């Protein structure tokens, strides 16, 4: 496991459009069809990363707390499944059920979506406003596997709350830390 920080896409960036297969429903879903009325959280995650396994309970709680308030949640796995078969779509479907995801868990087979978002690690979090402009990117909170800091989602929660309340979002944002995205080798 290599410790990799987010690349921190510039605030104000418009979310790149995409259509990917949802591992659960097997349907092709577009960003436009999944975005929330008031904002959208896009998360790059995977099945096997210990950092993602650690935050799964909180991302499930966050989605359940905010989807009814107009925030869309989308999870994407972009890992190379040839070298990392634990991240294959059929296992993504099982993970989504096990982790009680109430949001789509999409497979980015070509890795083009991860590249378009300049995603670097799992988990990597992005919050876009109702116009799909980036207002937050970075960590869920300070909790990491083994550091004994309770999982709270406070950084992302604060950003979502500010967005919903039409308040300024603190531009000083900490990068997420996790396993690097498993890029395909040419």
Cβ-based neighbours of 121, under 8 Å, separated by 6 or more: 4, 5, 6, 44, 51, 176, 177, 178, 179, 180, 181
pTM for this structure?
Answer: 0.96
Dist. CA 159–CA 161, nearest whole Å: 5
Q: Strand 28-30 vs strand 19-22: parallel, antiparallel, or unpaired?
A: antiparallel
Reported as a single tens digit per residue, the pLDDT across 72-126 is: 999 999 999 999 999 999 999 999 999 999 999 999 999 999 999 999 999 999 9
Q: How far apart are CA 153 and CA 20, in angstroms?
A: 26
Round to whole Å and give the CA distance between 81 and 144.
25
pLDDT at residue 1 tops 70: no
* pLDDT score for 3: 83
Nearest-CA neighbor of 35 among 66, 72, 74, 10? 72
User: Of 82, 117, 167, whose CA–CA distance to 9 is shortest?
Assistant: 117
Contact indicator for 53, 95 with CB cutoff of 8 Å: no
Say what the pLDDT of residue 186 is.
Answer: 75
């Amino acid at each position: 496991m290599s410790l990799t920080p987010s690349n921190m896409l510039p605030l104000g960036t418009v979310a790149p459009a995409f259509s990917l297969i949802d591992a659960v429903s097997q349907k092709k879903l577009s960003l436009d069809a999944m975005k929330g009325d008031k904002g959208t959280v896009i998360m790059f995650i995977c099945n096997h990363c210990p950092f993602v396994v650690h935050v799964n309970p909180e991302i499930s709680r966050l989605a359940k707390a905010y989807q009814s308030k107009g925030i869309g949640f989308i999870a994407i796995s972009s890992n190379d499944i040839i070298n990392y078969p634990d991240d294959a779509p059929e296992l993504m479907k099982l993970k989504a059920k096990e982790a009680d995801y109430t949001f789509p868990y999409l497979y980015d087979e070509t890795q083009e979506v991860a590249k378009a978002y300049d995603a670097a690690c799992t988990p990597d979090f992005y919050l876009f406003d109702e116009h799909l402009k980036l207002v937050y990117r970075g960590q869920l909170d300070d909790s990491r596997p083994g550091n004994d800091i309770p999982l709270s989602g406070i950084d992302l929660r604060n950003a979502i709350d500010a967005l919903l309340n039409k308040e300024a979002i603190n531009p000083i944002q900490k990068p997420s830390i996790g396993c690097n995205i498993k890029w395909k080798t040419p």
